[in-house]
Amino acid sequence: MPPCRQWPCFPPPRWPGFAPPLTYARAKGATVYHLCGSYRMGGDGAPVTPELRLRGIDGLRVADASVMPRIVSANTNATTMIIAAEAAAMMLGHLPPVEVR
C-alpha cells in the first residue's frame, strides 16, 4: 500500500502509535452498502405485509428501504422512490390488492 501513504488520512510511518496498513484499514474503513431489510416485507411472518402495513399497529405503513427483503445491486434511492410511489397508489386505491403466494 505504498501509494496510499501520500493520502492525508493515512498516518505517517513514524507517527507514535502507527498501526500497520491492514490494522489501520480495519479501524478506519467503512462500508458503502445502504441499509435495507430491517423490516422485511412478505407474507410468511414478515413484520410488514405486501400492502406495506406494519403487523400489530393499525394505520401504520412502512414505505422505505427497510421493506426490501434483499439489498438491490444499485443505489437504493430509485428503488425507495418506487416503493413510496407504489405505497401512495395503494393508499389511494389505484392498485389492486396484492396476492401473496
Rounded CA gap, 68 and 79, in Å? 9
Domain boundaries, the chain: 1-30, 32-101
Residue among 10, 34, 71, 76 flagged as catalytic = 34
Residue 60, pLDDT score: 93
Residue 18, pLDDT score: 58
- Cell numbers describing residue 35: 441499509
Catalytic residue status for 34: yes
Q: Judge contact between 40 and 46, C-beta under 8 A.
A: yes
Instruction: Extract the residue ranges of the chain whose pLDDT is less than 50.
Output: none
Residue 16, pLDDT score: 56
Q: What is the CA radius of gyration of the chain?
A: 22
Residue 13, pLDDT score: 57
